Amino acid sequence: MADSEITLQVNGEPFRCPPGLSLPQLLERLGLNPRLIAVEYNGEILHRQYWEGTTVQERDRLEIVTIVGGGMGD
């Protein structure tokens, strides 16, 4: 049987998923809220407007950072 999954690196850890996923689909599989994260894709910050058109590929490297709201305490 041919490989039915690809392996990515997400925050330094291997992650297997089906080929052909868009970035938003991958984020959903990871259980992440797209409104609360920033994504570095293969070493570059990927602006949100490009997420839908980005299909993850074998050996891609993603760093996903959760954005925490709030401010400085008194």
Higher-confidence position of 7 and 1: 7
Residue 20 CA to residue 38 CA, distance in Å, equals 21
Q: 6-66 adopts what CATH topology?
A: Ubiquitin-like (UB roll) (3.10.20)
* CA angle (18 as vertex; 46, 37 as ends), nearest 5: 30
> C-alpha distances in angstroms, 71 versus 30, 64, 74?
27, 21, 9
pLDDT tens track for 14-48? 999 999 999 999 999 999 998 899 999 999 999 99
Instruction: Please say if the pLDDT value at position 73 is more than 80.
Output: no
For residue 41, what are its two tokens? 């894709």
For residue 73, what are its two tokens? 């305490």
Nearest to 36 by CA among 8, 71, 68: 68
Sorted by where each begins, the domain ranges of the chain are 6-66
